[in-house]
Amino acid sequence: MDFITDPEAVPKREELKAMSIACDAVLTFARRHAELAEQMALAEKNPQRKAELDQIAATCRWVPENAPRTFREALQMYWFMHLGTITELNGWDAMNPGHLDRYLYPFFKKDCDDGILTRELARELLECFWIKFNNQPAPPKVGVTAQESGTYNDFTNINIGGIMPDGTDGVNELSYLMLEVVDSIHLLQPQSNIQLSRKNPDKFLKAACEVIRQGYGYPSVFNADGVVEQMVRVGKNIQDAREGGNSGCVETGAFGKEAYVLTGYLNTPKIFELALNNGVDARTGKQVGPQTGDPKSFQSFEDVYTAFEKQLKVVVDIKMAGNLFIEKMYATEMPAVFLSVLIDDCIKKGKDYNAGGARYNTSYIQCVGIGTITDSLSAIKTHVFEQDTISLPQLMDALKADFAGQEALRLKLWNKTPRYGNDDDAADDLMKRVFNSLYAAIDGRPNLRGGEYHVDMLPTTCHIYFGLVLCATPDGRKAKQPVSEGISPVQGADRHGPTAVIASAAKMDQLRTGGTLLNMKFLPGTLRGQEGIDKLAQLIRSYFRLDGHHMQFNVVDAETLREAQRNPEQHRDLIVRVAGYSDYFCDLSKELQEEIIARTAQESF
């Protein structure tokens, strides 16, 4: 380190010293586990339990101070790394082991070959590992964050399958064993997904489908080939891209090499509402956006859309300006020194994870409600400017009244409008146009860490909160009702089956995003028998051939959910897919329960 010519030499030295201190702390943490296990072993009367405690002590004496030698040590090594990062970051979420089956397989195979591990013992150790995650508390939520995230977890998302760094099939025996673990203990944490490549065998996909139809909402399914393309598009080398995958809900990143940070959500239907009210928030009456024209003066659909794009640009500019302050605060006041040890190239650069130390530095803005804004645009285009059945001022009056006394109009808008999710270009072309506007407003803008902003299309649960602050919309949605989530169609608007849904969703250029979320719901009988598994597998393969990014499924009927609402104490173990994660249905807010019930339940393929 050249203190004469490098003006950053001093902060680099301090960062490296902090990293070293953090490593010493984790080593001390592990030794304390070893010491406690040794003390417990001395007092233990049961020989079997004493042997277990001795083994725990020996493992914690070895890792993480030394490289793991066995399957057991590798699991323990990761667990100490996980605890180190989440302790440092005070419960910061979305820390995950990445391609756990890939990383553990050499240890698994060697131990089995050496006769010190059986498949049954490996499964037991993995189940214990799963339980450890499930016992970790989710990060606390307060204020508006608690309102928009009414339910939450740690978003630990284990990737299973996919492709190897050399591009070959990444499925191995542990991939199947992990699916068995997911099925056998069906806990909320850790979440799991399969990375599905065209190079993976159908046997692997169908094994995952067997778990999906149990109704836990997981594993979710990602297009591994598309994920690699997304990363290569934004400048990652092919090997780093293949070693990456998805964490959190659906976010794409290069594992161990990238700081990819979510920086907030855009309520796109709310932005459109500003355009229809000359920048005034229809709920509060305050002028919060630019004056883009009184809708009474709009003479064409293009006038409407131009107003939306002007509002979008201003909102995104405000969001970016706020982000610069937050990024600076994290870079200077909130270092993550132990996490920086684990991420290439923080040590090499002498820079913190939060200050641009990682090899790649990405910021994402998550756009919410594309189904709702698409259908709203479609309603205006169809009924105001094409069929001329209602004027824009009359429609605006109906929206301000929340359709009071105008149920016939509301139902016409709801039922007689081309709607996204039905493979109807009249609606889907508008969806593509909105996506392109979002992309143009966000993608490629610089962040303070030397990287760029990109677009994600995911809601967590803020589509409920965003609906609560939104008045009635032109698609027939009433005030305070949820907006659409992810890139899923508006709840109940997709009426032509699951193949129409994927055909519509695939018209979005998802390879230009950092992740999209598509929820689908099936009645249990639809997936019954081998035929049901085969058809679900074919649906997934078809969507991914169209460059879809992600799919996840609820397999449950409305009556079961209604019964759980009436008698929650009898359905405490009912798990459903919420957004990019699963949760116990009875722990959800009433609003979120109703939104899940309202999703279209597919009865056939």
Phi–psi pair at 309, nearest 5 degrees: -65, -35
Residues annotated as catalytic are 249, 251
**How far apart (Å, rounded) are the C-alpha atoms in residues 451 and 428?**
32
Nearest alpha carbon to residue 189 among 593, 581, 578, 596: 581
Nearest alpha carbon to residue 502 among 556, 538, 451, 450: 538
Summary mean pLDDT of the chain: 93
- Contact yes or no for 514/232 (Cβ under 8 A): no
Dihedral, 595, 596, 600, 602 alpha carbons, nearest 10: 180
Q: For residue 444, which amino acid is it?
A: G
Percent of residues in the chain assigned helix, strand, coil, to nearest 5: 55, 10, 35
**How far apart (Å, rounded) are the C-alpha atoms in residues 414 and 473?**
10
- Contact yes or no for 157/246 (Cβ under 8 A): yes
Q: For residue 351, which amino acid is it?
A: K
**How far apart (Å, rounded) are the C-alpha atoms in residues 227 and 544?**
11
Res 92: pLDDT: 63
Lookup: tokens for 4 = 């004469």
Number of helical H runs and strand E runs in the chain: 23, 13
Q: Which regions in the chain score pLDDT beneath 50?
A: none
- Contact yes or no for 421/519 (Cβ under 8 A): no
Burial 77-96 (b: 16+ CB within 10 A, else e): bbbbbbbbbbebbeeebbbb
Task: Tell me which DSSP letter residue 191 carries.
Answer: E
Res 141: pLDDT: 61
Q: What is the pLDDT of residues 132-152, one digit of tens each?
A: 987 766 666 666 665 666 566
Bridge pairing between strands 245-247 and 550-555: unpaired
What's the whole-model pTM score? 0.94
Res 40: pLDDT: 97
Res 290: pLDDT: 96
Bridge pairing between strands 550-555 and 220-223: antiparallel
**How far apart (Å, rounded) are the C-alpha atoms in residues 421 and 71?**
46
